[in-house]
Amino acid sequence: MSKKIITFAHNQSCFLTFPTTMTEKNITTKIQVFSYSELSEENKKLVDLAREATQAAYAPYSHFHVGSALLLDNGVWIKGANQENAAFAGICGERSAIYNAGANYPGVAIKKLAVTAFTNNEFVEEPCAPCGVCRQAILEFEKNAPHPIEIFLIGREKIYRLASIASMLPLSFKEF
């Protein structure tokens, strides 16, 4: 009973003080689209490793084999792949890679990250994008780094490049 009254009062207050002039904001994201042959040798290696990493996925439930690759500032390359289990408490390919980096090379920034997926006996047609949880995790690594993390989303033919994970997570949660 008392809870309902409090809620009502709160709504009334919001209604009375809500601005009467509505404005709009547009959020734009710049994505560069490459074919594999247009990439630098370093970026080709990143893509190759992400594709190779799909083979290490353990995905008996989703059959969606995600592969990820990182290049760290110290020159180390790291691969990651999704690891599922029957309790649906597995981990995505991207976080598998970045947590590996965090555990083995603490304090070393991630220079580049790539992700792709293999399912139904072929690589996905459209460039593969990280889930929301992975975007937040990558963002926190980026926040603690001295520079943005270049992101490569790999499809069968097209490869998207974003200059920062922040491009994929506008209006992000930054209370940390």
Residues 6+ apart with CB under 8 A from 5: none
For 118, phi then psi, to 5°, come to -125, 125
> Which spans in the chain are helix H?
2-17, 41-53, 93-104, 132-143
Tokens of 89: 């408490």
- In terms of Cα–Cα distance, which of 55, 58, 171, 175 is closest to 121? 55
Residue 75 CB, shortest distance to Zn ion, in Å, is 26
Residue 132 CB, shortest distance to Zn ion, in Å, is 8
94: annotated active-site residue? yes
Cα(40)–Cα(47) distance, integer angstroms: 11
Residue 159 CB, shortest distance to Zn ion, in Å, is 19
Q: Is 76 in the site for Zn ion (CB under 5 A)?
A: no
Q: Is 92 in the site for Zn ion (CB under 5 A)?
A: yes
Nearer to Zn ion, 135 or 161 (CB): 135
How many residues touch Zn ion (CB under 5 A)?
A: 3
User: To the nearest 5 percent, what fractions of the chain are helix, strand and coil?
Assistant: 35, 25, 40
The one segment of 37-45, 88-96, 109-117, 159-167 that binds Zn ion by CB under 5 A? 88-96
101 contacts 108 by C-beta, under 8 angstroms? yes
Catalytic choice (84, 94, 142, 150): 94
Binding pattern for the stretch 23-62 against Zn ion, x by CB under 5 A and - elsewhere: ----------------------------------------
By CB under 5 A, what part of segment 123-142 binds Zn ion? 131, 134
Nearer to Zn ion, 10 or 143 (CB): 143
Residue 92 CB, shortest distance to Zn ion, in Å, is 3
Q: Which residue is nearest to Zn ion (CB)?
A: 92
Cα end-to-end distance, the chain, whole Å? 36
Question: Applying CB under 5 A, which residues contact Zn ion?
Answer: 92, 131, 134
